[in-house]
Amino acid sequence: MRKVLRAVDRLSTFVGHFFAWAIVGLTGLITIEVFFRYVLDTPHAWVLDAQIMLYGVLFMMSGAYTLAAAGHVRGDVLYGFFPDRVQAAVDLVLYFVFFLPGIFALTYAGWSFATDSLAIHEQTFSPEPLPLYPFKFVIPVAGFFLLLQGLVEIARCVICLRDGAWPSRVEDVEEVDVEKLKEVVHVSDEDIARLDEIIATRDDKEPQP
């Protein structure tokens, strides 16, 4: 079971990393359009629509990845003090009451919107229209990946209720281990203290405005 959970984690992480490249395309598109608009005085009406769709793809397709990394916003004022089993019980209730109905509705409605859009070959309302139906298919696809990752999170809650501890996740971005970093660059606490003294002395000698 744990192998299955981690496999879905890796899938969600891959999808998130893959669609994160949309930010590169978005940045490049904006940069080029700024040049055309302000240097060549030839703006393009379709660029705004493309920007909105690229950002929408980035936002929607990062949902499952953020859930896999436990990165969604939560009210941690009391939750963080609960024992693991209580946290799992709270999460399990919330997944069934709010998450699953919401994601089912998102995926079902998104598929309906996308197929209707494809049937009429929907385009953006612009002097230079772009096809809109490919973008609308992102909604049910994102909903599917969110639902898949959500089922994994529900399984994690059940495992935590049984074992009393949260099962591990796939590691993605880790915090810097300061002590290990000191060893790598051969810096001691004394060196850091000496550097602080030098900086403080230099600041004292600088003329005040």
Write out pLDDT tens, residues 18-54. Answer: 999 999 999 999 999 999 988 888 888 898 899 999 9
Write out pLDDT tens, residues 111-158. Answer: 999 999 999 999 988 888 899 999 999 999 999 999 999 999 999 999
Selected residue with higher pLDDT from 179 and 99: 99
Structure tokens at 114: 């996308």
CA 135 to CA 61: how far, in whole Å?
12
Q: Would the pLDDT of 174 be above 90?
A: no
**188 in a structural domain:** no
**206 in a structural domain:** no
> If DSSP codes are grouped into helix, strand and coil, which group holds residue 161?
helix
Q: How many domains does the chain have?
A: 1
> Mean pLDDT in the chain?
84
Residue 183's pLDDT band, with cuts at 50, 70 and 90, is low
Task: Provide the pLDDT for residue 74.
Answer: 73
Residue 108's pLDDT band, with cuts at 50, 70 and 90, is very high
Token pair 């929907």 is found at 122
Task: Provide the pLDDT for residue 167.
Answer: 83
Task: Provide the pLDDT for residue 31.
Answer: 93
Q: Give which of 113, 190, 108, 193 is closest to 144, Cα–Cα.
A: 108
φ, ψ for residue 32, nearest 5 deg: -65, -40
Distance (Å) of CA 45 to CA 48, 50, 61, 132 = 7, 10, 26, 15
Task: Provide the pLDDT for residue 209.
Answer: 52
Token pair 């809109």 is found at 132
Residue 169's pLDDT band, with cuts at 50, 70 and 90, is confident
Q: Would the pLDDT of 64 be above 80?
A: yes
**126 in a structural domain:** yes
Hey, how many other C-beta atoms are within 10 angstroms of the C-beta on 135?
A: 21
Is residue 144 within a helix (H) or strand (E), and if so which, with residue range?
helix 138-163
**24 in a structural domain:** yes
Residue span of the structural domain in which 46 resides? 2-176
**183 in a structural domain:** no
Residue 170's pLDDT band, with cuts at 50, 70 and 90, is confident
The sign of the torsion formed by the CA atoms of 134, 140, 142, 144 equals: negative
Write out pLDDT tens, residues 185-197. Answer: 666 777 777 777 7
CA 82 to CA 84: how far, in whole Å?
6
**203 in a structural domain:** no
Angle at 62 between CA 107 and CA 15, to 5 degrees: 90
CA 42 to CA 37: how far, in whole Å?
5
Distance (Å) of CA 80 to CA 14, 83, 86, 90, 159 = 28, 8, 10, 12, 19
**7 in a structural domain:** yes
Task: Provide the pLDDT for residue 78.
Answer: 79
**208 in a structural domain:** no
Write out pLDDT tens, residues 65-96. Answer: 998 888 777 776 777 788 889 989 999 999 99
